[in-house]
Chains A and B, each alone.
Chain A
């Protein structure tokens, strides 16, 4: 018998080929050491929104609790998860600072519209359909890179692991996240409309993430356009040599 998580992963795998390819283009970009701050900026935009979105989902679950048998479980899950995610954006701010990009410059820059879309649709679903939709987002987004992969990237590019602390901390703290999420999903008494909503949310998340990763690459290509380059975070090669913070 196919479990909820197996079915969800099969559905996601159908549609995430292009996303995988775009993520690969970023990580294996021939100028990753210069591109990396732009990547971190996009990841910051996503990460800073995670704990607040989970708390919003938990709030919505509270409102549904009297009539919805899933609401109590979801409320607890989202609050626990929000607690785990709180403050993780600070790692990314530290990483950007290691490239010479100060915190206030990051906070002043407008996030990608694609990031707002990625996160914003979740608020629509949680408040106007059902907060279980956010599980579809988590299923796609929360998949940290492995330490082995990050170490390989570091050796290849010269970017120190201390300048990838956001990625490194997740790789170290949460290597079993996907398996734990799948087990939690499989423990739920989901009805067909719950499964559909989780799946539709996941499909949309893949599509919106494609746009975010496309934006990262396209923004970087504009470096040659001096008028646009001012809005882009890039690392001068000299910054890499000085990025030596210890984790």
Chain B
């Protein structure tokens, strides 16, 4: 079973919001520990859906926290 299939089985990849080819490549490069972590925290995968609200480039300019 590929990493993507594991995440699909865990319900983390939505049928209506499939991963991009680059995302699939990144997911399949992850280790088993990393996949377990994604499943454990019920990570919301895939940038396309969420990025609809975020204008291009804003995610970098607005930062995360500060520190």
Contact = CB atoms under 8 A, between A and B. Distances in A.
Interface residues of A, number: 47
B46 to A, nearest CB: 6
Given A18-B44, A24-B58, A199 B67 contact: no
Interface in B28-44: 29-31, 33-34, 37-38, 41-44
B44 A17 contact: yes
**DSSP class of A's interface residues: helix, strand, loop or mixed?**
helix
The size class of the interface chain B forms with chain A is: 20 to 34
B15 interface: no
A50 B67 CA distance: 8
A203 B38 contact: yes
Question: Which of B26, B37, B50: most chain A CB closer than 10 A?
Answer: B37
B38 A15 contact: yes
Question: Which of B33, B54, B66: most chain A CB closer than 10 A?
Answer: B66
A21 B63 CA distance: 12
Given A11-B26, A206-B43, A17 B50 contact: yes
Contacts of B50: 17-18, 20-21
Contact of B54 (A24, A167, A207): A24
Nearest to B27: A14
Interface string A87-101: 010000000000000
A144 B44 contact: no
Contact of B53 (A14, A19, A24, A141): A24
B1 interface: no
A47 interface: yes
A104 interface: no
Interface of A: 7, 10-11, 13-21, 23-25, 27, 43, 46-47, 50, 85, 88, 138, 140-146, 148-149, 166-167, 170-171, 192, 195-196, 199-200, 203-204, 206-207, 209-210
Given A15-B43, A18-B50, A203-B34, 7 more contacts: A14-B45, A20-B50, A23-B63, A23-B64, A142-B67, A149-B61, A206-B43
